[in-house]
Chain A
Amino acid sequence: MAYVRSIEHADIVHRCFRCGYCKFPSDYVDFNCPSHKAFGWDTFSSGGRMWLIRAWLSGEIETSPRFAQILFSCVACGNCEAQCVYPRFKDFLLNIFEETKSELVDEGKIPPTVRDYFKAITVNGNPYKLPQDKRGEWSEGMGIEEFSGQEYLFYVGCVGSYDEVGREMARSVGKLLKDLGVSFGILGAEETCDGNEVKVLGEKGLFTALAEENIIKFKAKGVKKIVTLDPHALNVFRREYPKLGGAFQVRHYTEVVADAIGGGRTSFGPLKTRVTYHDPCYLGRRNLIFEPPREVLRAVPGLDLVEMRRWAVDSFCCGGGGGNFFTDVIGTGEQSPARVRVREALETGAEVLAVACPQCAKMLVDGVKAEGIEDRLEVMDIAQLLSRAGLA
């Protein structure tokens, strides 16, 4: 029997005119769809994807490794949603891509790296295949408490817990929150994957299991407020967990820090450096948190904050979204998003590229290495920058 394909929004897929507004930022300065930029074919843009999905739904094209590559290289950065000119259609673009990936998951025809990612999460609870009891290792020796009813649960996530760059960032943020007197605790070895990438990659069943487990755990521990290291976690906690009964007050660490230092309550030592800030998609475009990270940076005397050509709602993704941080379907060539982005950062004359997401941090560190510009541009998390400035 032929496999019958269907997705929830199949009835509106034909409404894409593939006019291409979705490829650009609002002022059209350059292609802003990372997978289109990386591969250079219209098929890898949102419009291309949408038209191919329609062909695939109607059986005009078959599921193939190329089709899967086209879908899974989407970084879910949301530029297309922000720029599409069709008001009642644009809100569903990302859903349509996710639903199609879900179908491919059900068909069992996904890129090997995506399969390996799901496997690692299922077996090990994290994509790094590292033991659960190592999750809280990053905090050793810092005097950070386990969560036991403090104001915030500090949720670190897989990258912050296991990745070298991520752990560095988790330590800086943990220390900063402590120094600022924020009341928080962590789950340490009890923390489990938030499931944001699992969901975006289309593994609905695994996502629901992860989310439900987390919701039960958070509730049992009396968690009311969560501060996240990773904007990806913030996104899923804010937008998806409530649908499964997990409504918590969720904030990103830059928001909490901005509040804590607001009105000159805390001052930092001077730091004479030129900094440009990269908006993480899940913080900026997807959750409209643009100002707090900038507010924090501006609080450092001597720090010269300059913007890249594409910023805020027009920001260009580092290429790590949509699970690509782990699966790397988008690849690493000269036009890979991280390399494009660090070149753009360099153009501002900045010495530091500030980030607020462990995935962006790692992607851009790698981008700097690939471009061979380590001596000209340093990628630093905002908390690391503040720590360099020092509390006055």
Chain B
Amino acid sequence: MKDILRSLVDILGERGVSNAAEELWFYARDPGVLEAHFPDYVVAPETTEQVRQVVRLANEEKIPIVPMGNGMALTGLVIPLKGGIVMDMKRMNRILEVNEKARYAVVEGGTSQGALKAYLQDHHPQLRHSLPDAPPTTTIAANVSLHGQGRLTQQYGFNSDMVTGLEVVLPTGEVCKIGSPSLGPYWFSKGPTLPDLSGLFLGWLGTTGIFTKVGLKLYPNKKIRDVEIFVTDRVDLVPDIIYKLTHLEMLEDINAWFQPRPLMFKDNYHITMYFTGDTEEEVEFKRKMIWDSLEEFIVTKDGGFMGVGYMKPMLLEMPQRGIAAFADVPRGGGFEYSGPITLIEHYPDYALKVMELAEKYEVIYSSAARVVSGGHSMMFSISFAFNRADAAMMERVKKALDEATEFALEKGGIPWKPNYKEQRMTLEKLDPNTLKLLQMVKRNLDPNGIMNPGNWEVS
């Protein structure tokens, strides 16, 4: 039998491989509620060639391999469910190119959201990308691999829709370019007018290949950003309010949220609207349009605008640090969320379900929905915080999240970044021919089932 450790060291050097108890313990888990599972090795490549060689070795030896960004999907997607190799991608963090005029960037497969944000600020202040509110150490490649959403999702769709090309190491070890980079030096289109092969990888949670390069659309970075919050105590009105707002085609981002703490927020539904402009005039015009569009709810006394005052710097921060702080509400270092993608008209049902689950399982909730693509859908987050030192509370959160996913599936929603159990629930409900198609794709791309096994196990 091959000495795997030796082979890995040959490929990556001593600094790129570990099987020390400390790394194995750490890379066996993520910050969510799922059980840990130990890898056999942890590797950290610095080049596409190293990724390719490790994948080839893994494929030859039939060793599972799990690509990892920062492990913050929270749903255990980087837990090596079947052992093997965890590949920490964060050393591949270079920003390779920004095409200012064509508004795209090309980054390596472990580049963090924060690094791209800072780079654009320094070198291309006219441009921005759709930054999620995830901690800035999370990676761009991981985010598109799970169809993440960010600040510009309301306007332009899922962050994965903003991909302009990929370099992928296939499970069988070939390095494959997807989209315009497969034809020439430019990274402006992930598919059109070719058949869009990016669908073989985006949303697959690292089960069909490892992204070593990602091309990403950039957008104008307006000089001024501003924010308003509309509040109503009638959950049934939230879809109508969002409908009015999306009709304006003026908003950067729309988030509808509710939470029981601090008490000033209890029993109200808050719709935060972000808008931008290059001049005060433009911003004020948009503000007026927003106010006018919601006038009828004010007249009927069903809602009103809330002074954002002291909250403004926090709301305008990107990413919002305050969101991570939810983990410490039970003084406990943890939260996890399920975030089904669903119709906005279902908002009231989901909202009631969150509260029902929180009461049933005695856990602390918070919920923030993000509008996708001008209102075609939303990501409805069902977040529960927990105390990591309280195993029983973590178990209750796990159950509450499972039930939330069952509910979402019943309502025709699509689980987002589902954990392996939620994936199973989804596959069970899937149209049989769709499942068959998934199987065909997976079997052909990953004949030995080495890529992030346990996830999207369609066989």
Contacts and interface: CB of A to CB of B under 8 A. Distances in A.
A28 interface: yes
Nearest to B322: A85
B77 interface: no
Interface string A1-37: 0000000000010111111110110011110000000
Which residue among A18, A67, A333 has the maximum number of chain B CB atoms within 10 Å of its CB? A18
Interface of A: 12, 14-21, 23-24, 27-30, 39-43, 48, 51-52, 55, 60-62, 64, 66-67, 70, 85-86, 88-89, 309, 333
B88 A42 contact: yes
Contact of B328 (A28, A55, A89): A89
A21 B321 contact: yes
Interface string B41-78: 01010000000000000000000000000111000000
A24 B327 CA distance: 19
Nearest to A36: B90
B135 interface: yes
Interface string B364-398: 00000000000000000000000111000000000
Interface of B: 15-16, 18, 20-23, 25-27, 31, 42, 44, 70-72, 88, 90-91, 112-115, 117-119, 121-122, 135-138, 321-322, 324-325, 327-328, 331-335, 387-389
Contacts of A12: 331
A41 B71 CA distance: 13
Contacts of B138: 20
B115 A30 contact: yes
Contact of B387 (A14, A21, A61, A64): A14
Given A14-B389, A41-B88, A43-B26, 19 more contacts: A14-B332, A15-B331, A17-B327, A17-B334, A19-B137, A20-B72, A20-B137, A21-B324, A27-B121, A28-B136, A29-B119, A30-B115, A41-B23, A51-B26, A61-B25, A66-B21, A66-B22, A86-B325, A86-B327
Contacts of B321: 21, 85
Which residue among A40, A70, A89, A309 has the maximum number of chain B CB atoms within 10 Å of its CB? A40
A246 to B, nearest CB: 35
Task: Enumerate the 10 nearest inter-chain pairs by beta-carbon distance, A residue then B residue, closest first.
Answer: A28-B114, A20-B137, A29-B118, A17-B327, A19-B135, A14-B388, A15-B333, A28-B136, A14-B389, A66-B20
Given A14-B387, A40-B15, A86 B328 contact: yes
Nearest to B389: A14
Contacts of A41: 18, 23, 26, 42, 44, 88
A241 to B, nearest CB: 33
Contacts of B389: 14
A12 B332 CA distance: 8
B124 to A, nearest CB: 14
B152 to A, nearest CB: 18
B23 A14 contact: no
A19 B44 contact: no
Contacts of B114: 24, 27-29
25 contacts: A14-B388, A15-B388, A17-B31, A17-B334, A20-B70, A20-B137, A21-B137, A27-B117, A27-B118, A28-B114, A29-B115, A29-B119, A39-B15, A40-B44, A40-B88, A40-B90, A41-B23, A41-B42, A42-B90, A43-B23, A48-B26, A61-B22, A64-B22, A86-B328, A333-B15
